[in-house]
Amino acid sequence: MKLRILFFAISALLLSNCTQKLVRVKPYERGNLAHSVMSPERDGLLTAMTQHAYFSREASFGGGGVGGGGCGCN
Amino acid sequence: MKTYFKTMAFILMTASAGVSSSFAAEASVGAAMPGLGTLLPGSSLPKTSGKVVLVDFWASWCAPCKLSFVTLQRLHQKYASKGLVIIGVGVDEDAGKFQTFASKHPAGFTLVHDTQQSAAAYFNPPTMPSSYLVDKSGKIRFIHQGFRGEKTEAEYVHEIEQMLAE
């Protein structure tokens, strides 16, 4: 049992070194993300209406937006 | 059971080491600039030996990159005769987009297309655009992340004049 726990602990330690490099999109690879259709707020009116409907139901404000789209420049 | 764990441990260590080493070192201040000819095979590159070099990574989908081209063009016109070489490395995956951008924004300095993104992988620019200023001895002296208009241009001028005077 101890050996198994030790094995999984070492595995997690070894593999954690590469997770960031494997998952993150490099700044120079964001061509597809920079496309206008990838923006969640490409239509201002639709965004405002959707947010209003969402927050009305959730009875809260703020918390919207996901930092995944766009070119990520500067 | 012990053989199983030994085998899995070996595989994990090998995989971890392999993944870690497969990513090239990031170019940093003080490091020697790599030979661009090997990173950009087939590209027509100017001679950079003994010159101050500005390597700029840009893309057609990068709005600040479009703004920076105006500044780079000004720097080229002002300092090319004094020993400044500017190399704009386009990292677009689509060669057509690279060509379209280059034709819409004609530049007096060299534009090359990093088709395999090998130069980008080596330099690992922290953001887009990113530029690397290299002194006459081939050492990276300044790294600029992003482009912020007049502020960045003033920094460029100060650093280029400093290195040209050395």
- Say yes or no: A72 contacts chain B, CB-CB below 8 A: yes
Q: Is residue A17 part of a domain?
A: yes
The answer on pLDDT for B41 being more than 80 is yes
SS3 B145: strand
Q: Is the peptide bond before B129 cis (omega within 30 degrees of 0)?
A: yes
| Range with lowest mean pLDDT among A31-45, B113-127, B147-161 | A31-45
Chain B residues within 8 A of A34 when measuring between CB atoms = 59, 61-62
Note whether residue A2 is domain-resident.
Answer: yes
Q: Quote the pTM value.
A: 0.75
- Asked if the structure places residue A13 within a domain, the reply is yes
Taking an 8 Å cut-off on Cβ atoms, the answer to whether B16 and A14 are in contact is: yes
Q: How confident is the model at residue A14 (pLDDT cuts 50, 70, 90)?
A: confident
Out of B93, B146, B147, closest to residue A31 by CB:
B93
Tokens standing for B121? Answer: 């992988």
Identify whether A32 is part of a domain.
yes
Instruction: Note whether B12 contacts A15, CB cutoff 8 Å.
Output: yes
User: What domains appear along chain B, each with residue ranges and CATH number?
Assistant: 25-164 (3.40.30.10)
Q: How would you class A70 by CB atoms within 10 Å of its CB: exposed for 0-12, middle for 13-18, buried for 19 or more?
A: middle
Structural domain contains residue A39: yes
CA distance B53 to B107: 16
Mean pLDDT of chain B: 89
Which chain B residues are within 8 Å of A26, Cβ to Cβ?
120-121, 124
Counting residues of chain B whose pLDDT is more than 70, the rounded percentage is 87
For residue A12, give its domain range.
Answer: 1-58
Lowest mean pLDDT among A18-27, A32-41, B29-38: A18-27
Number of domains in chain A: 1
The alpha carbon of residue B114 and the mean position of all alpha carbons in its chain are separated, in whole angstroms, by 10
Q: At what angle are helices A2-23 and B2-22 packed, to 10 degrees?
A: 20
pLDDT (average), residues B77-93 = 96
> How confident is the model over B122-165, as pLDDT tens digits?
999 999 999 999 999 999 999 999 999 999 999 999 999 999 99
Give the model confidence (pLDDT) of B7-31 as tens digits. Answer: 776 666 655 555 444 444 568 999 9
